[in-house]
Amino acid sequence: MKKASLLFLAGMISCFAFSQEQDSTKTKKTNFKKFTDNLSGNFESNAQWYLNDKKTGEFDEDEHVRANSYLRLDYSFLKNFTVGIQAESYAPRPLLNYTELFNKRVAFAQFYANYRSEKLDITGGYFYEQFGSGLVLRAWEDRALGINNSLRGGKIKYSPTNYLNFTALYGKQRKGFSVANSDIFGGNAEFNAADIIKSDKLTDLTLGLSYVGKKEEYKTTNNDSNVPENVNAYSARLDISAGKFNIGGEYVHKSKDARLNKGSSPSFSEKRTFTGNAILFTTGFSQKGLGINYTFRRLENMRFFSERNFSNLGSNPTSQLTLNYIPGLTKQHDYTLTNIYVYQAQPGMSFLPGETFPIAAGEIGNQVDIFYKIKKGTKLGGKYGTKISLNYSYWAMLDAKNIDPNANPFFPTDDFTYEDEFLSFKKKLFTDFNIEIRKKWSRKLSSIFTYINTYYNQDILESKGNGSEVRAWIGIAESTYKLGKGRSARLELQHLSTNDDARNWVGGTAEYFFNSKFGIYINDSFNYEEGKNPENYNIHLFNVGGSFTKGATRVALNYGRQRGGLLCVGGVCRPVSKNTGLTLNLTTSF
């Protein structure tokens, strides 16, 4: 793959780099200058030196210094063509908690060639794509999460009019520096009737249809095996926006597949197969000073992987080879203590063996957001107005009843099958009520006050099996003072209190920017009362660091301790281990 990628890029550049017509009367640019003018790219490197620490423990792995680095180059020519390549380095090993599929020190990881005109967009090589909300397909990259689920193959997009477009694709999903042992194919069509109706009130009336198929060979010696070679997912969606209102819905059906259990190792039955489905509904209202948004989602057996053996979070915590995108639909908080109890979506089958044999076939829940601005000049609004945000989310296990005639109370048999209630919110997994108030006191001083009340079913969400539940509240206050000429100071204070698990935490951050380019900070989180989870008790989880930005280049340096738990971006999470170290981040683009 490395040689093929290099030859591909070299061949494309050598053929087309200097093919643009020259007009000596208008330009005196050299061929090399033309080449650099059409070349763009970016470089990112995240390195860490892991250190021994009496509080967080000895770092007992072989490589203390590690780095993940990425170089992407794109070259445009002949007005409509672009080629590119991405090289990656994980030397001497990937950062802690990244998948070992990224097992090469330096390698060409991806390449592509693209032709784009007004109506046609064709890509060969590696590409990213999303159909609708991503419930049937999202091929994407997030380096912080260690996810790169791109497809290697071909993609064609055709837009005959401004209100109609089609997409067809075929490929194999990326698997580290190789590809998965399956074929992915699909199509998408979108039609926006609002562009035909041309009404002042109707701004969007879009109908979307999607199909994604996976072909994965399955070998077995079991004559009772019903595991299918082909698994297909179909999606239909409708989005309407008219005036101040919007409404949208999507329905997904996934054909029969093996039972993909949530657990510590790959586990699925060969005898019985199950269909999957998803329902997503959104609606909202927006006008000056007020916004209301509501989301409902129901997921049943919606785990979808290009290889079934990657279906378990225990053995695949960074979600490699996922075909669809299912984030946790809760408010994404930015503070350290708000990310101790976070919700991850529960789209598939899970079992908690015991006397009552609780079974979940997925999740069901909803979320509502309300935004309101108190007018300027009122008692509560003051001179600059006051912004208030309210959010409430509730998620429950999709309750299922085991109807296996030979039911085992401690583990499901191959004959396992179930019945579930279509709308049942009884088995609560997570709730989050929060209110945020943003207040500007003067041209220089502004504040944010946040209160969060959370319920977290630790028993099910962390597979504890001991009936543990966490009830917590968090209070946060932060203020920023602008000193002029790019200088500013920010102070943040946090407190977390739980019924038992982690008991009480206190945290805070102090940040100072000397100008718009250079800033430093120090923060600390401290679990000052021991509870059932003593792992972080009486440890100052401090960090001190800073960043410098010049143009398109940013350098950040940090020394401190990392709390073990989850790192989440946009509702998708990966686990991180407790550690101490020095971290260097570098990003630049050109």
Quickly state the pLDDT bin for 40 (edges 50, 70, 90). Answer: very high
- Quote the pLDDT of residue 201: 87
Of 331, 296, 327, 328, nearest to 425 by C-alpha is 296
**Element at 33 (helix H, strand E):** helix 31-37
Say how far apart CA 295 and CA 471 lie, in whole Å. 24
pLDDT at 24 over 90: no
Average confidence (pLDDT) over 514-543: 91
d(CA 89, CA 522): 30
Beta strands in 104-150 (DSSP E): 106-116, 120-127, 129-131, 137-139, 141-142, 147-148
pLDDT at residue 266 greater than cutoff 70: no
**Does residue 262 register a pLDDT over 90?**
no
Give the pLDDT band of residue 354 (cuts 50, 70, 90). Answer: low
Gap between the Cα atoms of 75 and 88, Å rounded: 18
User: Which of 41, 20, 33 minimizes the C-alpha distance to 84?
Assistant: 41
**Cα separation, 154 vs 172, whole angstroms:** 10
The most confident of the ranges 219-233, 254-268, 339-353, 535-549 is 535-549
Alpha carbon distance 231, 212 (integer Å): 9
pLDDT at position 20 is 43
Instruction: Name the least confident of 261-270, 321-330, 396-405.
Output: 261-270
More confident residue, 25 or 399: 399
Statement: residue 590 has pLDDT above 60:
yes
The DSSP 8-state label assigned to residue 349 in this structure reads B
**Nearest 5°: CA angle at 475, between 473 and 480?**
160
DSSP type of residue 500:
S
Indicate the pLDDT class of residue 264, thresholds 50, 70 and 90: very low
pLDDT at 296: 98
> Residues 441-456: what's their mean pLDDT?
97
Compute the average pLDDT of residues 108-133. 97
- Asked if pLDDT for residue 145 goes beyond 90, the answer is yes
pLDDT at 3 over 60: no
Please tell me whether the peptide bond between 94 and the residue prior to it is cis, using omega within 30 degrees of 0: no
Q: What is the pLDDT of residue 472?
A: 95
Q: pLDDT (tens digit, 9 = 90+) per residue, 451-472? A: 999 999 988 888 777 778 999 9
pLDDT, residue 180, reads 96
Reply yes or no on whether the pLDDT at 347 is more than 80.
Answer: yes
Place 220 in a pLDDT band, splitting at 50, 70 and 90.
confident
* Residue 107: pLDDT band with limits 50, 70, 90: very high
Tokens of 572: 């998708």
* pLDDT(265) > 60: no
pLDDT at position 268, please? 66
| Confidence bin at 356 (pLDDT 50/70/90) | low
Q: What is the mean pLDDT of residues 180-209?
A: 93
* pLDDT at residue 80 in the model: 95
Average pLDDT over residues 149-169: 97
- 373-394 pLDDT, tens digit per residue, is 999 989 889 999 999 999 999 9
Compute the Cα dihedral for 378, 381, 384, 388 and give only its sign. negative
Mean pLDDT of 35-60: 92
| pLDDT of residue 94 exceeding 80 | yes
DSSP label at 31? Answer: H
Gap between the Cα atoms of 250 and 239, Å rounded: 9
Q: Where are the domains of the chain?
A: 1-19+29-98, 331-590
Q: Which amino acid is at 474?
A: I
Please state, in angstroms and rounded to a whole number, the distance separating the CA atoms of residues 214 and 394. Answer: 33
Mean pLDDT of 233-247: 96
Burial class of residue 484 (count of CB atoms within 10 Å of its CB; 0-12, 13-18, 19+): exposed
More confident of the two residues 316 and 477: 477
- Give the H or E element holding residue 474: strand 470-484
Q: Is the pLDDT of residue 285 over 70?
A: yes
pLDDT band at 271; cut points 50, 70, 90: confident
Collapsing DSSP to helix, strand or coil, 218 comes out as: coil
**How much is the mean pLDDT over the chain?**
89
Whole-angstrom distance, CA of residue 51 vs CA of residue 54: 10
Q: Give 500-504 contacts, CB < 8 A, sequence gap 24+.
A: 500/470, 500/531, 500/532, 501/458, 501/468, 501/470, 501/531, 501/532, 501/533, 502/340, 502/470, 502/527, 502/531, 502/533, 502/536, 503/527, 503/529, 503/530, 503/531, 504/528, 504/529
Q: What is the mean pLDDT of residues 406-428?
A: 78
* Confidence class for position 13, pLDDT limits 50, 70, 90: very low
Q: Distance between CA atoms of 317 and 361, rounded to whole angstroms? A: 20
